[in-house]
Every structure is written in structure tokens, then in C-alpha cells.
Chain A
Amino acid sequence: MPAISYTPSPTGWSVLVHGGVLLAIDLPATSERTAALWTLVLDGSSPGVILDQIVSSGLTSAPDFVLVGATQTAATTVLVRGDAVVTIADGVAGRTISGVGVSSWVEQVVDTVLGFDIRLSNAANDERGVPLLSGVAIASGLRVGIATASSAGTAPLAAAPPAAPAPIPAPVPVPIVAPATVAVPEPEPELAPEPAVEPEPAPVIEPEPEPESEPEPTPEPDPVPERQLAPPPPPPPPAPEAPVAASRPGMISAPPPSSTVPAVAEASGYDHLFGATVFREVEDAAVRTVADAPPPPAPASPAFPAPAPSLPAPDELVDGDPDDRTVVMADIAALRAQRRAARGAATPEVPAGPSFYLELSTGGRENLDQTLVIGRAPSATRVPGGSVPRLVSMNTPNQDISRTHVQISSDGGTVVVTDLHSSNGTAIVLPGRPSQKLRPGEPAAVIVGTIIDLGDGATLTVCEAS
């Protein structure tokens, strides 16, 4: 078995590792049952034999566990009972196995697995972890073959030293990538970031023309072929004054062609031809029709026409920044907060809504703590930075679901499903109701217990966390 590291936790599960077998089980490490299992693991017993021992006292009293071992066909078998989540690294997309909602256990055979991330509790696994070759540990999680375990702190992933792969006692019977491939450091010099990268010091106030964070020489006045080697031009003279901004609050524009700013090159009179970039709030731009747009007084002003008349009067909301839409939004939020406060502290805080998760037919669960986009190889297109969805890949036998198939979000206690114009569509089955096909792009609210069918055997079940 490749490098294993575990996240120690006094309240964690017992983790038994020897030879090609890994067993994590929700039992005290000192219990007799654990001791019996350890004997089996030490003997090199097959997963089937170990499983027999785990369920020997009956299925209902069997503890939760994760068992990873080799099959006779040299593939890797993964068995999960209970809440543990096993994420498989089988290339660039991860998939998960979990026993949530299954009364016995989930078994999957994987043949190109490269590593596992095994979460025995809700906590994320420590990337560094503690290496484990063989023995019993108490852990809240494990990472197998994912070579981030390292005391090197910020060392690059690829440079992480192998967690002592050499002395592993038994030959690795599973086609997991040998430690040599997974963890061997590749001390390539290119890994070092480029020079000229100077993260810390000196806020740059002076008009130094060469951005300090730029990895290569910057601005050159003339495009001679060897300009990369030529020294940068001297910094331009600092601009003498700042009346432009003062005279046009809220607007970012090139300096006007005023004679008072002779030192600033952009004001050289070419701006009426090319125009400096200016900033204007989005509504101001959006509501204007072509017919309404006043012709630019091009030669006279490099900036756009004064926006004041077309603006609403949000000034009572704004402090000195009337053009700035986001300031307006922030102030509206502040006003609302004030109003809420004025209504009195008697208004109770809205209790946190229920938390939902999805059970995937391919194994595993996904919490709906953020919007999920699910498909064969999902992507996200033009989403706001404040609500980037989590992308979840599902592998189905015939690759019949769309790359980006369905979006599921939880908002204020409601789970909302939206088919993202998938080729074969999405159906929902509410408990006790016939299946119903979603209209593409139209959000549909669903209740707990609903099954979301993506086709090709891929389903998602909406569950509520207890």
C-alpha cells in the first residue's frame, strides 16, 4: 500500500494497517474486537475474511468501517459502512464512496485508483498527517497515496518526500501507483517561481513603471527586438496635482486635456482619438439607448459626457461617491440594518435553516452548503465570485449524462433543482408521485426524499441532515 498518513484524533476510529490492507473501524482501539481484527489483518487475510469478522455478531450491531484491500484480480476493493466518505483519486476528477443511507455497506471495485482521501468524521484531513506504515492508530481521517504529507510546510506538492515507502513489508498487491511514482520529489529547478517576484515589501506609491510583481521586464518605449534586455525607462515625473478626481467624484477617467496637467502624458491631446479607460456605473451604461446617447464632445473632453443628468439621485444614500453602484448597495444594506435595529431587538434572529445533502447513486454524499453543479465533467460559466458553485463529477456507465447537467442549491430551507439544458434532461420523482421532467433552465423546488434522475442510472436523493 502506498504512503498512508492519518490525522490523529483522540475521538477517532481505530485504523489498522498492514500489508495491503487498510481497515478503519468505529471501535475502541483497545477492544477485543479490534484485537481480533488486528490478528486477521496481520495474517494477511482477504477483505472477505475481515468482513466476516466485522459482521460476525450480526449486521445491526456491526460498527461503521472503511475497508480497503486487494481483490484476486489485482483491482482495489473499497467497502464503506456508515458516514465515512472515501474520495478516490482516479485521474483528474475525484469521486466519492460513502455508506450513508445504506443499511449494510457499499462495496466498489476500482482499478485505476491512485489514492484515497478518507474522512471518518466531518473534519477535513490534515494535509501533513502522520505517516503510518503498519500498525494501529486512532484517527479522524486518512490520506493514502496523496503525497501531501510532509513536514516541509509550504513545499510544493510534487516535492513532498515520500512518507517512507521503502520499508513497507508486503509487496503491494493493488495497482495503486507505487510510492515511487506518487511521491518521489522531482526537484526541477523550474518549480521555483520566476525571479522578480517580491511578495512582501514596500507599498508602491511612487510611479515606478515596472510592476514589481512582474516576472519580466516591463514597459519599453520602443519595440526594438532586444527590449527584454534593455533597462526600463526612468520613471515618469510624478503628477503634480489631483484635481481631476476632485472635480469629477466617482469617475475614473484620464486627466482632461487641461493645461494644468502638462506632465501627464495621457493628456497629450491624443485622447480624443483613443480615449482613456473610464469607469461608470453599470446602470448608467445599460439604460442608455443609442438614440439617447449624447454624441461625445470628442475633441473637447476625453471622458464621456457628464453622467449627472442620467443618474437617479441616490445621493442621500451615498457619501461623496455617487457614481459608485456598489457603494450604494452597501449603504442600502446599512440602511436596512438600521431599520431592523429600529424595529427593536425583539425581532428574533432567523434560525439557521435545515441543512441538506445529496446522496449520489455512484456512492458518496454532497452537502448542500453551497450550490452544486453536477455532471460528467461540469464547468461553471460566468458566475459571481461570491457564489462559485462546487463542481461534482459523476461517472456513469454509458457517459450519457451531460458534462454540465444539473444545478442544485439550498436556499432558505428549500432545495432548488435546475436542469442546465442537458441533452437528455433531468427528471424529479417526489415521494409518492410520478416522475416529472424538468423544463430546461427552470428552477424547481423539491422536498426531502425527492429523487433527481439524470438518466443513465445516475440519481441524486435529497436528504436532510439530522
Chain B
Amino acid sequence: MGAGQEYTWTLPFARVTFDVSSATDTGLVRKVNEDSLLAVPPLFLVADGMGGHAAGDVASQETARILLSRLPEGRPTTSAVIIESISQANDAVRELTGDEFSGTTLSGVALVQDDVGLSLHWMAFNVGDSRVYSWDGTTLVQVSVDHSAVQEMVDEGLISADEAAVHPDRNVITRAIGIGTVLNPDVWLLPAGGPQGFVICSDGLTKELDDRAIEEVLTLALTDQSAADRLVAAALASGGSDNISVVVLRASVDAVAAPHAAVDESDALPAHLQETLPRI
């Protein structure tokens, strides 16, 4: 499975496996990497700091640190905890950076359970223009919606998605951690079951590679590099104009059946997925 880290959890009624790779690179133009990333089950995120004067690093690091500090060990978290810690990170970044204007994006995925602990969902969350994609082994689908000026214009029907990619305001974001007193991240909840994959990345990846190019890199495993390393290398090869951070997660949530009906390992994936899943 490439250079990914693997984790297996046995929950009372589900078995969860995480196969995750992550990589970050300063890029070829910038001198400082202001991105931070986190790949600690059940939380996977990318934060893209901004603001110059190294304040961007502080913002993204502090945000990742706070979300990590609230994580339970070896079991799912809850959406309430994630929301609270995002709000906490917002306050902390505001305090840390004081009058200096800095902030960070935050995009990620967490495995969450309800308050009784009996149903599992993938929670995607987003502030800013880093992204969460779902990846089923063949098709990449953008889950998050950018908080960016060009996305607003696309939503208004003023420009097309293609025009957005080259629009002069494409680096203007409209929401960030550390900017206002109240922060409302966008949240998605997807039922967790069977094999599911996610790609989380900063805009350093998506500025260099469009969705089809990312799909191609994910699918063609010609080297032993992890999926995240391959994506970063591809973004560098296309210019590497910004910091690039990528987390590629392949996970599987399988209901644990009663012992007499133990699921055979080889049946865990549907056949069509077994054939086409990339080596990530």
C-alpha cells in the first residue's frame, strides 16, 4: 500500500481501517511552508496559513494543534467536538496573532459517532479554499465548497468554473480561521460504511492540477511512492507555485457481524472495487 500508514480499530460493532498517506512541500517559489497537516485517526486535515511574516505558520499550526488536542484516542470523535475545537482554534489564532492579520484555511475529514455511539459518519468540514474530495478508486468528487471570491461568482452564475481557475481574484478567500469573532465552518455528514476514500489538500495542489489530473495521479501507481507523495511531486512538476499539502485517506468501515457470520476478509470489498482500487 505504498508508504501509507495503516491503522485498524475494532469498535464494538464495526471494524475500521485507515490507510493514510500525507505529504507537504514548500513548493518551488515560496520560501516558507505555512501549511500544516494532520493525519491521526479519526482526524485528517490540512490548514493553509496566510498572512506573511510567518504568522501564517502560527495560525495553521495552532489550529492543527488545538483540533488534535481534543481528539479521543482509538475511537471516533463527535461533530460537536470538532465544531467546538474549530471555534476554539479561531479564538486562539486571533489571540496569538493579535493585530497582525493572519489566518488559516481548514479542510478535513473526521470519523464521528452520534451521542449514543452507535452510528458512524464521515464528517467533512471546511473554512476557506483548501478542499476535501471523495475518492472511490475511480472518480474524484469535490465534497467541500470553497469560501472564495471566485466560488461566489460561480455560484452567482457570473463566471464559469473554468474562468474561475484563471480569474485574477482566484486567491481571494471569504472565510478563514482567525479573522472574525464568530466562525461558521461548512459541514457535511456522510454515512460511513464500506470502503471510502478522501483527498484533502491545500490550494497549492488544486492550482497546479485540475481534478482530472489528480485522478490520473491517484490511479496510476507507477512507483512505490505514497499517493500523497505522488500528488505533491506532480504539483511540483507543474510549477509548485505555492505550498502544497495533501492527505490521502483510504478507509473502510465494516459492520462487525456476530461471530457465526464472521465476514471473510476477502469479501470486505465489492469485487469491482477490489479490481480498481489504486495502490494508495
Contacts and interface: CB of A to CB of B under 8 A. Distances in A.
Contact of B174 (A124, A238, A281, A381): A281
B171 interface: yes
A93 B118 contact: yes
Contacts of B121: 379, 391
Interface string B199-241: 0000100010000000000000000010000001100100001
B179 interface: yes
Given A204-B61, A380-B188, A293 B169 contact: yes
Nearest to B40: A193
A154 B74 CA distance: 9
Given A216-B22, A218-B33, 5 more contacts: A158-B75, A215-B39, A236-B54, A245-B51, A326-B183
A15 B257 CA distance: 28
B29 A270 contact: yes
B49 to A, nearest CB: 9
A390 B114 contact: yes
A236 B120 contact: no
A113 B195 CA distance: 23
B256 A156 contact: no
A190 B6 contact: yes
Interface in B97-138: 99-103, 105, 114-121, 125, 129
A223 B25 contact: yes
A156 B74 contact: yes
Interface stretch (A247-255, A335-343, A355-363, A417-425): A247-255
B189 interface: yes
B149 interface: yes
Given A92-B120, A92-B253, A326 B145 contact: no
Contacts of B170: 275
A403 B193 CA distance: 13
Given A221-B26, A223-B233, A279-B173, A191 B180 contact: no
Contact of A282 (B9, B71, B175): B175
B251 interface: no
Given A278-B50, A327-B180, A94 B118 contact: yes
A136 B139 CA distance: 56
A203 B55 CA distance: 12
A188 interface: yes
Contacts of B12: 89, 114-115, 145-148, 157, 182-183
Interface of A: 87-94, 112, 114-115, 117, 124, 127, 145-148, 154-159, 175-178, 180-183, 186, 188, 190-194, 197-200, 203-209, 211-216, 218-221, 223, 225, 236, 238-239, 241-242, 244-246, 248-255, 261, 264-268, 270, 273-282, 284-286, 288-290, 293, 295-296, 298, 304, 324-327, 329-330, 377-386, 388-391, 393, 403
A250 B193 CA distance: 43
Given A87-B116, A178-B259, A290-B153, A264 B174 contact: no
11 contacts: A88-B118, A127-B117, A158-B10, A216-B39, A220-B26, A244-B53, A245-B101, A265-B30, A275-B171, A276-B52, A278-B171
Contacts of A190: 5-8
Contacts of B156: 286
Given A214-B38, A285-B153, A304 B168 contact: yes
A251 B240 CA distance: 25
A265 to B, nearest CB: 3
A205 B117 contact: no
Given A177-B258, A205-B96, A326-B180, A213 B117 contact: no
Contact of B169 (A177, A204, A264, A285): A285
B119 A211 contact: no
Contacts of A127: 117
Q: Which of A192, A273, A298, A386 has the most C-beta atoms of chain B within 10 angstroms of its own C-beta?
A: A386
Given A92-B13, A158-B10, A330-B182, A213 B68 contact: yes
A379 B187 CA distance: 11
B158 A289 contact: yes
B174 A282 contact: yes
Contacts of B225: 225
Interface residues on B, range: 35 or more
A388 B168 contact: no
Interface of B: 5-14, 22-26, 29-33, 35-41, 48, 50-54, 57-58, 60-62, 64-65, 68-69, 71-75, 79-80, 83, 86-87, 96, 99-103, 105, 114-121, 125, 129, 145, 147-150, 152-153, 155-156, 158-159, 168-176, 179-193, 203, 207, 225, 232-233, 236, 241-243, 253, 255-260
A384 B52 CA distance: 29
B164 to A, nearest CB: 11
B241 A273 contact: yes
Nearest to A87: B116
Contacts, number: 361
B171 A326 contact: no
Given A115-B13, A157-B75, A379-B191, A385 B260 contact: no
Contacts of B33: 209, 218-219
B69 A199 contact: yes
A175 B256 CA distance: 13
A296 B147 CA distance: 20
A390 B78 CA distance: 11
B24 A219 contact: yes
A434 B242 CA distance: 61
A385 B83 contact: yes
A208 B139 CA distance: 37
A329 B180 CA distance: 10
Given A209-B33, A384-B184, A384-B187, A298 B6 contact: no
Contact of A266 (B6, B25, B31, B119): B31
A193 B73 contact: yes
Nearest to A296: B168
A16 B49 CA distance: 57
B181 A203 contact: no
Nearest to A382: B186
A102 to B, nearest CB: 21
10 nearest A-B pairs in the assembled complex, by CB-CB distance = A156-B74, A265-B31, A326-B180, A219-B33, A207-B54, A94-B118, A285-B149, A211-B36, A239-B53, A91-B255
A271 B74 CA distance: 43
Nearest to B33: A219
B255 A255 contact: no
Contact of A264 (B53, B64, B114, B172): B53
B152 A285 contact: yes
B184 A386 contact: yes
Contact of A274 (B80, B173, B241): B241
Contacts of B155: 286
